[in-house]
Structure 1
Amino acid sequence: MVSVIGVRFRYAGKIYYFDPAGIDLKLGEKVIVETARGIECGEVVQTLREVDDSEVVAPLKKVIRKATEEDLQHVEENKRKAKEAFGICLEKIKKHNLEMKLIDVEYTFDNNKILFYFTADGRVDFRELVKDLAAVFRTRIELRQIGVRDEAKMMGGLGVCGRCLCCCNHLTEFQPISIKMAKEQSLSLNPTKISGICGRLMCCLRYEHEVYEDLLKRIPKVNALVQTPDGPGTVVYVSLLQEKVKVKLDNDNEPDLKEYHASEVKLLKDAEKESEEQLDEADMELLKQLED
């Protein structure tokens, strides 16, 4: 076990562990730390705790100091300069006629590097652009291509639910999302209804996925043959979250459907694999792209 604190450099960003080096730190305090890309200023989001050695990336770097008022002023100055650099980079991109979209610009705390984040449909030859930017700013330049999900996290926005995007509000890391999750939750496979503003499957499809997986293991599927307290029958409707099924009894004198709790029926014969929702080729192609 090793003693660490958790530091975050962006709102809702990934949490990194550092050795507090004996400094008494509280939640929300700003600290100066050494990272793989240089000296940075971050916020303490987890106070002193013990974690397993396997959770720490060796060698564990130490906190240099608490951020002073001068350090915080320097951070604000870097943000101002980043806005200016953004405008300059846009001009250079237009000058070189590059097919890329600039998303964000960030100065490292020690000003040893400027990072330019962008998106593009494919690979971009930005060597000449880097030379131009280096001539203007006279420091190390790094152009980093990011995905559309990272773009949404940086830019922010509102989801179809009307709330702030999960990725820029509380999700620290992206998790894989699959079409299978939408199917198991009986959602429409219409790409426009299950994708977020990033154009990929909505992150919230994962939130209840484990619950649905557990329910699907215990509750008979539609068209399954089951034994009920009133005799055998065929399942015609399933309410997963209520854990109830509607059964068409195999009794000519009982033509009406009857509803049972899943615990009241016993599976006699599982249903055949359901045919997938019929989609045209365009929608099928969109669905494949949602998982990329």
Structure 2
Amino acid sequence: MDQDDASVGPASGPVAVGVRFRPAGKIYEFDPGPLILRRDDRVLVETERGPELGTIAVTARPLSKPRALQRVIKKADARDLGREDQNFQRERDSYRSALEHVRGSGLPMKLVKAERTFDGTKTTFYFFAEDRVDFRELARTLAQSLGTRVEMKQIGARDEAKVAGGLGVCGRELCCSSWLREFEAVTVKMVKEQGLALNQSKLAGQCGRLKCCMRYEYQTYLELKRGLPAPGSRVECVKGDGVVVRQNILKRTVVVRRAEDGIEVEASLDDLVTRRADA
């Protein structure tokens, strides 16, 4: 039996299952009680917002330290899934209605998504704005129009892309909306270390920030660059002494411009005798 499908019985002591509410969302721990749950099972759980549908992402595991957890109410049945589909349709309708109100209000904000609680008592609207926005009047109008409690959540550019989803230039679904749980800093230094040109149009993702994938091979490039003389270094080489003009990181070679004739030659680390003292 696959380890992820294995279940821990009640006699194993307190256990928890990991539940995810979005495809690339954070995983939360819940008490499964007597239920035997497998990965990808749909479940109804207790949350601070009331009952919500989620998906088992991590099967039952012993708790390292006993603590109170909210519980899994039951496995989702056809009725629950049908209600979820109805909520999706109402979310689309709420989004369209809210979009008209936003345009009419003239507020400098971009509506990203509407999200409805499972019991239908509350609708959350996610929006992006460069600055703080006074949305109180808009929230009151939407609550009266929709007949539910309304919460407005301002999110950043990266969160906007995560919530909205889409395809990257690679042709795949955005990392942030498909599997990436947490955002980590991506810096210009990481781009430079990989020898990429600082072209904003090619380096920016859908969010307008540096692509998250700039992090993925950063450590590999650092490892490959270790030991390579930096551009501008003077080196002694079996192919002729000279100055390093550039590095070929993936090949672990450097291009040396020979002092004797100005010709550029490619040299591996084995070709380099030593770095000159005046480098």
Per the TM superposition, whether the score is higher than 0.5 is yes
Secondary structure of the equivalent of 2:226? helix
Q: 1:100 to 1:248 in 2, by over 3 A?
A: closer
Please list the CA deviations of residues 216-266 of structure 1 after superposition, one character each: whole Å capped at 9, or x if unmatched.
33321111123435675322221111111122345x3x7644433235534
Deviation, 1:268, is 4.3
The answer for the alignment partner of 1:45 in structure 2 is: 57
Match for 2:170: what amino acid? C
The answer for the alignment partner of 1:68 in structure 2 is: 77
Residue 25 in structure 1 maps to residue 37 in structure 2:
yes
**Number of aligned residues:** 266
The worse-fitting range, judged by mean Cα deviation, of 212-221 and 194-203 is 212-221
The answer for the alignment partner of 2:213 in structure 1 is: 204
- Pairwise mapping of residues 61-140 of structure 1 onto structure 2 (< 5 A)? 61-140=70-149
CA contact (8 A) 2:225 2:252 kept: no
Give the Cα separation in 2 of the matches to 1:197 and 1:189.
17
CA contact (8 A) 2:165 2:174 kept: yes
The answer for the alignment partner of 2:166 in structure 1 is: 157
Please list the CA deviations of residues 57-107 of structure 1 after superposition, one character each: whole Å capped at 9, or x if unmatched.
x75322221112211111111111111211221222233222211111111
CA contact (8 A) 2:239 2:265 kept: no
Residue 6 in structure 1 maps to residue 26 in structure 2:
no
* Pairing partner for 2:224 from 204, 211, 215: 215
Give the Cα separation in 2 of the matches to 1:166 and 1:270.
47
Deviation, 1:138, is 3.4
Secondary structure of the equivalent of 1:24? coil
Give the Cα separation in 1 of the matches to 2:239 and 2:109.
66
Please list the CA deviations of residues 108-145 of structure 1 after superposition, one character each: whole Å capped at 9, or x if unmatched.
11223210111112111111111112223333210011
RMSD (Å), alpha carbons:
2.6
Q: 1:223 to 1:40 in 2, by over 3 A?
A: same
Q: 1:270 to 1:12 in 2, by over 3 A?
A: farther
Give the Cα separation in 1 of the matches to 2:278 and 2:82.
66
CA contact (8 A) 1:4 1:48 kept: yes
TM-score normalised over the length of structure 2: 0.84
Give the Cα separation in 1 of the matches to 2:171 and 2:277.
43
- Pairwise mapping of residues 160-239 of structure 1 onto structure 2 (< 5 A)? 160-229=169-238, 232-239=241-248
Q: 1:260 to 1:137 in 2, by over 3 A?
A: same
CA contact (8 A) 1:221 1:270 kept: no
Please list the CA deviations of residues 154-198 of structure 1 after superposition, one character each: whole Å capped at 9, or x if unmatched.
222222223322222222222211111111111111211211122
CA contact (8 A) 2:98 2:142 kept: yes
Residue 261 in structure 1 maps to residue 273 in structure 2:
no
Match for 1:18: what amino acid? F
The worse-fitting range, judged by mean Cα deviation, of 237-246 and 146-155 is 146-155
The worse-fitting range, judged by mean Cα deviation, of 90-99 and 198-207 is 90-99
Secondary structure of the equivalent of 1:218? coil
Please list the CA deviations of residues 17-69 of structure 1 after superposition, one character each: whole Å capped at 9, or x if unmatched.
2232231111211011122333210011222235756xx9x753222211122
Give the Cα separation in 2 of the matches to 1:261 and 1:238.
10
Identity of aligned residues (%): 43
Secondary structure of the equivalent of 1:41? strand
* Pairing partner for 2:257 from 248, 264, 280: 248
Mind listing any 5+ residue stretches in structure 2 that lack a counterpart?
Answer: 1-12
Q: 1:249 to 1:154 in 2, by over 3 A?
A: same
Mind listing any 5+ residue stretches in structure 1 that lack a counterpart?
Answer: 272-292
Give the Cα separation in 1 of the matches to 2:237 and 2:34.
66
CA contact (8 A) 1:249 1:255 kept: yes
Give the Cα separation in 2 of the matches to 1:3 and 1:218.
49
Match for 2:242: what amino acid? G
Secondary structure of the equivalent of 1:26? coil
